[in-house]
Amino acid sequence: KGNLILVNKYYKLDENFNPNNLTDMSLQYAYENNQIDEEVYEHYVDMCNAAKKEKGFILITTSSYRDYETQYDLYEKYKSKNGTEWADSYSARAGHSEHQTGLALDIVSYNNNMDNFEDTEEYEWLKENCYKYGFILRYPEDKEDITGYNFEPWHYRYVGIDVATYIYENNITFDEYYAYFLDK
């Protein structure tokens, strides 16, 4: 389903799945060693430039594309440190991460991190404007029973402008959109 592929606790990617159109992200927009789908990157750059022009905000990606092995290692680290239940609510198992699609970004503001991002003006701006660039807040607050993951104010997923606008205007999750319109 292209940009509308659903990857979650129930829909899994093969361990050999690799997006074929990844591009390196500039250090102006991301920390080192980040790659993302080319189309996603174009829209992300537009969004970052708008945030800077409108508000003086500097958005930066901390994590983007992750291959199966990287996600496996990350999940196992969380699991060994905090237990399976905690790991399952904060991290996707290998094959179940949207990061493997090349369509997901963890975004914070420069000089902030994930621990306090939800308390920033940049988060508020993203939450209210990301849909204009084709992104959604993938794991919103108070939707954990639908998404299966705890609130992640930094995790944004590209779905295209039309779908992102619908999701934003109707205050639904991507999982709900998928069930209503795509799971046929």
Active site residues: 152
Q: Are 48 and 41 in contact (CB under 8 A)?
A: no
What Å distances lie between residue 126 and 76, 120, 122, CA to CA? 30, 10, 6
CA distance 51 to 136: 16
Q: Are 47 and 39 in contact (CB under 8 A)?
A: no
For 138, half-sphere exposure in the C-beta direction (CA atoms, 13 angstrom radius) is 23
Q: Residue 58 is which amino acid? A: I
Q: Are 124 and 137 in contact (CB under 8 A)?
A: no
CA distance 19 to 67: 10
